[in-house]
Amino acid sequence: MARKMLKALALLLAVGYCSLLLSQLTHPLKIVEIRPVPDRIVSNLLSNFTYKESPDDTSIEDSVNKNISLEDIFISVKTSRHYQASRLPVILKTWFQLAKEQTWFFTDVDNPLHQNQTNGHMINTHCPSYHQPKHLCCKTSIEYDHFLDSGKKWFCHFDDDNYVNIPRLVTVLQRYDHRLDWYLGRQSVNRPVYVNYQKKKILYFRFGTGGAGYCISRSLALKMSPIASGGRFMSVCEGIRMPDDVAIGFVIEQLLKVNITEVPEFHSHLEQMKLLPLNKLRDQISFGFFWKKNYKDTVNAVNVPGFSARYDPTRFLSLHCFLFPYFQFCKLIRR
């Protein structure tokens, strides 16, 4: 009896297996083709995915960074009654034309001519005009407060002996997230800065030289507010007895513990401008110059072809035409 049942089971299995083979032959399996997702769909998916970027990551993949434009930047230029007449005309003729609404000049005197030429962007700080630390800090303090009131995402400070490559400035800032703490600049010294503050010796901090320019994200600027806003910054300067750019570094690096991010595209007259390669000028953010005796003896300037040294001692006119040759006055260059 058991043997008959085993034979019947074996017969049933054989019939089932044959049926399965017949089914595979008459109805073959469909092969599913796996295709890559189109780039357009991937892009849409990524744009809807947000993450908090690490301050150590300067990736520009975040769509928020890419959307940074000139409108998001507050550009301040520090000047004085001693240099306005000689330095501002070349700035107003060149790079200011690319950022008229975003650039503000902080001075210590009323000048109706420059006020008209800048469409009201000259701010008389009423600070002393001397080149002493506390007087420099006075202007920088007011620059900082104006930035806070502006609601802009980036605060970028320059001096009146700087040429600023505006498109490049925007491009570089797009690498960084304004919602995080960023202090962007270039050091002029490669050694620690020592200061005495509240009877304590601060052993080390770095700073970005103001003569090359520096930028501070809004996130970091807001953290500076309890220490620096409303004129408090002047007290810091007096406490360490250092110029404004050093005091900025002190507040950020020593008190807030945020390190400077070195950006080599910033330049000042403390460097040899003539050593900048011609084919690298478009990649730079700022340039400087230095002269003696009211342009009669230009000591340090960018080596760029264009106008004569007598007509353009700072080389800013020539540099501007090299970068933006479509400006009308560039047609005066002898080819």
**Catalytically annotated residues:** 245
Dist CA 205 CA 250 (whole Å): 6
Nearest to 80 by CA among 127, 141, 145, 147: 127
Q: What span, in angstroms and rounded, lies between the C-alpha atoms of 153 and 174?
A: 11
Output the DSSP codes for 206-265: ----TTT-EEEEHHHHHHHHHHHGGGHHHHHHHHHT--HHHHHHIIIIIIS----EE-TT
State the Cα–Cα distance between residues 205 and 199, nearest whole angstrom.
17
Closest CA to 170 of 256, 69, 98, 262: 69
Closest of 68, 217, 3, 236 to residue 137, by C-alpha? 236
Q: Tell me whether strands 286-288 and 162-164 are parallel, antiparallel or unpaired.
A: antiparallel
Structure tokens belonging to residue 81: 């009654």
Q: How far apart are CA 134 and CA 241, in angstroms?
A: 8
Terminal-to-terminal C-alpha distance of the chain: 113
Residue 117 identity: Q
DSSP SS3 for 128: coil
Distances (CA, A) of 185 to 152, 175, 209, 265, 289: 19, 14, 7, 9, 18
Of 81, 109, 104, the C-alpha closest to 92 is 104
* Two tokens, residue 225: 């507010």
Within 8 A by CB and 6+ apart from 312, the residues are: 306, 318
Contacts of 150 (CB under 8 A, 6+ apart): 74
CB atoms near residue 126 (< 10 Å): 12
